[in-house]
Structure 1
Amino acid sequence: MNIQPEAILEKNLIQQLTGLYYSYASIHDEDGLLSNLKAQLEAFNQTAFSDKEFGAILNHLSKGNIFAKARTLRDRFQMDRDNGDSFYVRFFNSEEWSSNLFQVTNQVTVEGVYKNRYDVTVLINGLPLVQIELKRRGLELKEAFNQINRYQRHSFWTNSGLFQYVQIFVISNGINTKYYANNRNQSFQQTFYWADVHNRNITGLTDFADAFLNPDHLGKMIAHYIVHNETHKILMVLRPYQYYATEAIIEQVRNSRKNGYIWHTTGSGKTLTSFKASQIAMDLPEVHKVVFVVDRKDLDYQTMNEFNCFKKDSVDATDNTRSLVKQFGDDTKLIVTTIQKLNNAIHKKRYKSD
């Protein structure tokens, strides 16, 4: 087996990412990270921040745990400027994700319980949103996974805590490469291979970087394909077949009046795929309502609970046919109902006047 040193993997990856229009940032420590963050947020928001204003931004960014910070990333921060004006600071553009500013850096050293030096960090608008841990060819992939777990215990939370903004971890030994969402308690079983549209795994680091880490795709994954599980307070990143299924559904909604179907096996995350497709479809200007139809009452309740787990209050119960008819007439965007209630609403005379 060809044993390729970790340093060569790192060098080649950085060279590849700069070829994908990342800018390289020379950052060595916390001070460099903060200095770069200020410059990138100023460029992204097209304004300059005073030291006092940037201090207010850092104070805002420091609040909350990993789950809360994922919300902060996607929200705007209303800040009082030195001149008394109000200004909304943006940290990430979820609508036009390619307009975000992509950088790559390596060997950032952070001191916590121990001094840790991270391999490759992807910065978006100055925030570390993807952390890549590499091991030389021939080593088990789980060693990279365990290394990230140590970083989480020892140093990600220290100083400004900016590394708690990481959304996606990537682990690779050059031959095998996997990704997973950032959470406090990690399981190696929740690491995934990326795949192409034909469900062929993309395992090599070079191919993975081309497919997954190119700015357009990575920006879209962070913007649309990370789900905030409100019940368990965890982040969930979609697997490749869920991503392609959702993309196909949205393409069909946008460009065709024909029907279609997606086939998933038991336990493959059909409800999550359905939720994400519904959520994206709701945001399309040409879509007035999204109706999710199930064939049993227990699935109606189960689906409603799971949708609300993925996003709080995203759907109300249709307890009976009359409440379903009412939802069709009001501003409810997402409806979950049974085929029986939908059939009654369409065909029974007493509901036609509602």
Structure 2
Amino acid sequence: MMASGHQSEAELENHLIRKLQSIGYHYVEIPDVETLNTHFRAVLSERNQERLKGTPLSDREFQAVLNDLIGAKTHYQVAQILRGSVVQPTGKINIKRDDDSSLYLEIFNGKQFDQNIFEVSHQMTVEGRHENRYDVLILINGMPIAQIELKRQGVEFTQAFGRLQI
């Protein structure tokens, strides 16, 4: 604690990360978008090794995954893909492999939450209109789900909103 009795932003971040780790989140080092994509690809491949049958996703196939997940979709449409439906609460996507076969990849398991991988990262930098560094990033199955911008007491909350704009 600082002399004023208020935690610094770094102390707040570390406290939140420790709290998430105490409930089962794993810490991963994700400094930038390139590392994030590499990590997501590895987690996706690990979660779908049986479906992949020993043939890893090619660069083109992984790009198809990203396009299918994000593409020109709204946040609501992406959320629908991730959570699946009431009948089939498993987020899945279907891509065409390089050999023209069809492949379903599981993104999220809505029935057995313990089958998902919950992770937290710290200080990821994203280049956009501005360089943004996110204090804490929450990932599920390697996908960034929430960005948390922490501010110490006494700082206007609008500063946190400004930091989240890309």
Report the TM-score range of the alignment, normalised by the length of the smaller protein. Answer: 0.7 to 0.9
1-structure distance, mates of 2:149, 2:63: 30
What is the SS of the residue equivalent to 1:134?
coil
Q: 1:73 aligns with which of 82, 92, 95?
A: 82
Higher strand share: 2
Partner of 2:9: 6
Q: 1:15 aligns with which of 18, 22, 28?
A: 18
Q: 2:68 aligns with which of 55, 60, 74?
A: 60
2-structure distance, mates of 1:146, 1:11: 20
| Corresponding position: 1:148 with 2:164 | no
TM-score of the superposition, structure 1-length normalised?
Answer: 0.40
Partner of 1:50: 58
Q: 1:40 aligns with which of 40, 43, 66?
A: 43
Q: CA RMSD in A?
A: 1.9
Q: 1:135 aligns with which of 137, 151, 157?
A: 151
1:191-233: CA deviation from partner (whole Å, max 9, x where unpaired) = xxxxxxxxxxxxxxxxxxxxxxxxxxxxxxxxxxxxxxxxxxx
The letter of the residue matching 2:59 is D
1:28-81: CA deviation from partner (whole Å, max 9, x where unpaired) = 111011011101111222343222211110111222121221122224211122
Could you tell me how far 1:120 is from its partner in structure 2? 0.4
Partner of 1:110: 126
1 or 2 for the larger relative contact order (CA 8 Å, sep ≥6)? 2
1-structure distance, mates of 2:23, 2:13: 15
2-structure distance, mates of 1:85, 1:67: 29
1:240-269: CA deviation from partner (whole Å, max 9, x where unpaired) = xxxxxxxxxxxxxxxxxxxxxxxxxxxxxx
2-structure distance, mates of 1:148, 1:45: 36
The letter of the residue matching 2:31 is H
1-structure distance, mates of 2:147, 2:104: 27
Could you tell me how far 1:12 is from its partner in structure 2? 2.0
Unaligned stretches of 5+ in structure 1?
A: 156-354
- Pairing of 1:77-226 with structure 2 (within 5 A): 77-140=93-156, 143=157, 147-148=160-161, 151=164, 154-155=165-166
Q: How many residues end up aligned between the 2 structures?
A: 150
What is the SS of the residue equivalent to 1:12?
helix
Could you tell me how far 1:149 is from its partner in structure 2? 5.5
Deviates more, 1:57-66 or 1:76-85: 76-85
1:165-189: CA deviation from partner (whole Å, max 9, x where unpaired) = xxxxxxxxxxxxxxxxxxxxxxxxx
The letter of the residue matching 2:45 is E
TM-score of the superposition, structure 2-length normalised?
Answer: 0.80
- Give the direction of change, closer, same or farther, for the CA distance of 1:12–1:35 in structure 2 (3 Å limit): same
1-structure distance, mates of 2:103, 2:60: 14
Higher helix share: 1
2-structure distance, mates of 1:135, 1:146: 8
Contact 1:105 1:122 (8 Å CA) reproduced: yes
